A = this chain, B = another copy of it.
Amino acid sequence: MKHFTGVADVTDLPELVKLARELKAHPQAHQALGQNKTLVMLFFNPSLRTRLSSEKAALNLGMQVISMNADQGWNLEFADGAIMNANTAEHVKEAAAVISQYADIIGLRSFPGLKDRELDYQDQVMQAFCRYAQVPVVSLESATRHPLQSLADVITIEEHKRKPRPKVVLSWAPHPRALPQAVPNSFVEWMRQADVDLVITHPEGYELAPEFVGDTPVVYNQAEALSGADFVYVKNWSSYQNYGQILTQDPAWTMTEAKMALTDQGKFMHCLPVRRNVVVADEVLDGPRSLVIAQANNRTFAAQAVLHQLLSQKHG
């Protein structure tokens, strides 16, 4: 694993999940591994649970952590050959190379603008850092993917599944703001590599990018999709086709106990933060089906497994 930006960077997913669960059982068992190693985390967008869980993961491994908000005043240039006499003050070539002088691993968060689909799906910030950094780069959510969240989700499903191959449903939910597709893209990409049967359900017009969906069944009837589900992953996203648009806020898509009753004692999942009684009813979130806090907890061990693997390689 050179960088960690998506499931394609993982050579053996079951092994990574196994490592995460071992680290969860003994969080501080490998503190020598990170000794005198520094994780520098750059947040081009704000972060709460990603920052806390990643920092905790690094500290568990004995690493030093430096977190920086780069959300204001750091206008990077990405174009080759640019004459930088306007707003951009530093080229990503220098930025990535310089931070590599102080970091053993770079963590990076950068959201999409949701205005220009082509630009967003180039995942410019993440790709440029991967290209120019001299140390491994870990995605803390990019314009198109949120791989540490997805790995935590895989771990959570592995911990709670009651069948060898559970049915997992990704169910779109309404939301008053236009949100990125990074979490659902990533969830689909990881589930397709996991030992599950994945079904996606959403209103027409909310189809995710084809390169993420592949041959995953898409069902527009939510009730039909939920039938017999073991895990229901609820999430809003804005339209990919009508890029960045909110096409509907239809409350009929809100997850409720009545809908969860269609599942096979299905568990409820969400990456948080979640808007109560818009995305999901209180009754579900506060009930025994909800795995959201377990998911949040597994964020630490997802990050720790990735850092562990990157540090082990460096030592190898």
A: residues with CB less than 8 A from B are: 27-28, 36, 38, 40, 46, 48-49, 51-53, 55-56, 59-60, 64, 66, 68, 70, 72-74, 77, 81-86, 88-91, 93-95, 97-99, 101-103, 176, 249, 272-278, 282, 285-286, 292-293, 296-297, 299-300
State the copy count for this chain. 3
- Cα–Cα distance between A273 and B98 once the two chains are bound (Å): 10
Contact B64–A274 (Cβ < 8 Å) = no
Q: Which residues of B contact A68 (CB under 8 A)?
A: 48, 51-52
**22 residue pairs A–B, Cβ–Cβ below 8 Å:** A46-B73, A48-B68, A48-B99, A52-B68, A53-B102, A55-B66, A56-B102, A77-B276, A81-B277, A82-B276, A83-B276, A84-B278, A85-B249, A88-B275, A89-B275, A90-B272, A90-B273, A90-B274, A91-B274, A94-B292, A97-B293, A101-B300
Contact A81–B282 (Cβ < 8 Å) = yes
Contact A38–B56 (Cβ < 8 Å) = yes
Q: Which residues of B contact A88 (CB under 8 A)?
A: 275
Q: Enumerate the 9 nearest inter-chain pairs by beta-carbon distance, A residue then B residue, closest first.
A: A90-B273, A84-B275, A52-B102, A101-B297, A83-B277, A98-B296, A56-B102, A85-B278, A59-B64
Q: Which residues of B contact A60 (CB under 8 A)?
A: 36
Contact A40–B66 (Cβ < 8 Å) = no
A89 touching B273 in the complex, CB below 8 Å, given contacts A52-B99, A98-B49, A300-B101: yes
Q: Considering the complex, give the chain B residue whose CB is closest to the CB of A55.
A: B66
Picked from B84, B103, B297, the residue with its CB within 8 Å of the CB of A276 is B84
- Cα–Cα distance between A102 and B298 once the two chains are bound (Å): 10
Q: Which residues of B contact A74 (CB under 8 A)?
A: 46, 48
CB distance from A102 to the nearest CB of B (A): 4
CB distance from A176 to the nearest CB of B (A): 5
CB distance from A41 to the nearest CB of B (A): 11
CB distance from A53 to the nearest CB of B (A): 6
